[in-house]
Structure 1
């Protein structure tokens, strides 16, 4: 069996579509003093159709101070990571989240105050641009914390014996519930069902690194005796994770009103795509995106379009 870090490194190295690689190089060129790596992730990773989609990238940088000429952008990236910006290149559009190497490492681990980074990078991603071999190793090491963090959370809320794929689905349901999401209720299951062999391989490797002790017997994950009360420790932190996750979703949306041109249109597009709604943004909402977002989110919560 390959180690988890090797599995992550091998998956990151799978070539992406040439247009995606060219887009990533374009992003990195905008930050010549700071860019370390560019990661491609999200639903478009599973799609052969790029045109008309919103691609998702993470730009990993050496430091926020080296990234921005405007100090306030560095300050907000420190205080409320990540900053998110729209990009266009060669007929494609994307949103790019910016994280420092240090934050990317920490936000893929249990001490993170919210689930957003490790929940995403427990899923497949591609390293589509990097400065050198050291950057590639750093990214693989950071992402190697994501799957154990997710599966450890699921272990704390499951039966003493569980199938590894069911464990993944439990973990994704928990993370979706810890953010304001527009996706359908079956989304966590569909993520795993798209490539169950991948999740079985990564699950077996990641379960060797969870704080909650377990072993695999007869194809099932068995939770072992827990003298250090790791299960209760994990359970105890989830109410705060759910509160923080929903609060941070709104806070980042408010921040994006200042950093993300057209952010309110992206919000509407994302919700319409995943929740089947027909939101249309009015001129006043584009003029005052922060006010529009604060008006729109509670309305969607009441309708159940986001959860």
Structure 2
């Protein structure tokens, strides 16, 4: 399967050995997959789909791959899925995976019309690679779910585009909406870097989807550009704003959960902040020993600092602010608002 370079192959092999037949599928995504400025400290982003939370976490615990209680992990996995864990089979020099763990039922719900928020859907809109599927049935199931999730991108991106737009305009706006809804520990310009790293892949994914929109009458095409056949209603925009607002609140709340489930979460996120922003932070010995709840206030300050620095960087560069899900942009990329919601 695609994306199986040496480190990912090693991680997937260990996950398969640990999870056994209960491991349904593993999907790779993120900066390592698309080569969006990762460094040697960057984790490999994986989505891990399992039959049963309890059985999977017991297997991790028995294998010595987590210091967390298997019972705790299984319990909290039923709240605000997915659960984020560190999978580091060969520390300190081996590859580290940041795994989003979901049961098969939760994964199917979160990529469908009954999803609870945008967290999983936003990530599936990017370039991904299915690096493990348990059997042909699981492979076909994953392919169908991801294809369906991508077809829904038109529903939540089109209302926030005005006038004529190209495939590239559409893809960039889709990423802006998704990124705007999470407090992200990185400087401004990250959307551009992520977009440019997977531009050709995104064109290949979304050109057929836009063409299907033309065929169904949702879009019109002229001179190689698209536009909505009918403007989005106020009710539709209000509904989307509410959806993205809820998604943003849930994504922010997940940070508390991450501190409970991810071994050495705060050192990991501090390293990411330092890598993405150039800021430096220190963790006291007491905070290392009792990361929760002592590190929660500092974590929030770190994230706010990163967000503030991102706004300063954009202002200094003369760029536009992070767009709102409720704001509309023209195909030329001008933005009508500075804050937004979404998740990716």
TM-score by length of structure 1 reads: 0.84
- The residue that corresponds to 1:127 in the other structure is 130
What secondary structure, in the 3-state scheme, does the structure 2 residue paired with 1:280 have? coil
- The residue that corresponds to 2:201 in the other structure is 198
Is the Cα–Cα contact under 8 Å of residues 29 and 45 in structure 2 kept in the other structure? yes
Give the CA deviation at 1:224: 0.9
CA distance 1:281–1:165, change in 2 (3 Å): same
Give the CA deviation at 1:217: 3.0
- The residue that corresponds to 2:78 in the other structure is 78
Q: Choose which of 241, 260, 279 in structure 2 pairs with 1:277.
A: 279
Q: Distance in 1 between matches of 2:240 and 2:281?
A: 32
Q: Is 1:255 aligned with 2:277?
A: no
What is the number of equivalent residue pairs in this alignment?
292
Q: Distance in 2 between matches of 1:49 and 1:203?
A: 25
Q: Choose which of 205, 208, 214 in structure 1 pairs with 2:219.
A: 214
Is the Cα–Cα contact under 8 Å of residues 34 and 63 in structure 1 kept in the other structure? yes
Gaps of 5+ in 2: 59-69, 312-344
Q: Is 1:58 aligned with 2:58?
A: no
CA distance 1:73–1:89, change in 2 (3 Å): closer
- The residue that corresponds to 2:96 in the other structure is 93
CA distance 1:67–1:282, change in 2 (3 Å): same
CA distance 1:182–1:151, change in 2 (3 Å): farther
Q: Distance in 1 between matches of 2:198 and 2:259?
A: 36
What's the CA shift string for 1:140-172, capped at 9, x where partnerless?
A: 112113333333222101113211211111121
- The residue that corresponds to 2:5 in the other structure is 17
What's the CA shift string for 1:188-225, capped at 9, x where partnerless?
A: 22222223222222112223369991143322112113
Q: Distance in 2 between matches of 1:272 and 1:231?
A: 43
Give the CA deviation at 1:110: 5.0
Give the CA deviation at 1:245: 3.3
Q: Distance in 1 between matches of 2:8 and 2:113?
A: 31
Q: Distance in 2 between matches of 1:174 and 1:203?
A: 16
Q: Distance in 1 between matches of 2:257 and 2:309?
A: 22
CA distance 1:249–1:257, change in 2 (3 Å): same
What secondary structure, in the 3-state scheme, does the structure 1 residue paired with 2:165 have? strand
Is the Cα–Cα contact under 8 Å of residues 153 and 234 in structure 1 kept in the other structure? no
Give the CA deviation at 1:16: 2.2
Q: Is 1:29 aligned with 2:17?
A: yes
Q: Distance in 2 between matches of 1:66 and 1:151?
A: 37
Is the Cα–Cα contact under 8 Å of residues 119 and 251 in structure 2 kept in the other structure? no
Q: Distance in 2 between matches of 1:166 and 1:297?
A: 34
What does 1:216-235 align with in structure 2 at a 5 Å threshold? 216-225=221-230, 231-235=233-237
**CA RMSD after TM alignment:** 2.7
- The residue that corresponds to 2:341 in the other structure is none
CA distance 1:198–1:209, change in 2 (3 Å): same
Give the CA deviation at 1:293: 4.0
Greater relative CO (CA pairs within 8 A, separation 6+): 2
Gaps of 5+ in 1: 1-12
Q: Distance in 2 between matches of 1:231 and 1:134?
A: 40
- The residue that corresponds to 1:183 in the other structure is 186
Q: Distance in 1 between matches of 2:220 and 2:295?
A: 46
Give the CA deviation at 1:268: 0.8
What's the CA shift string for 1:233-275, capped at 9, x where partnerless?
A: 5422343344333332332221222222101111111222222
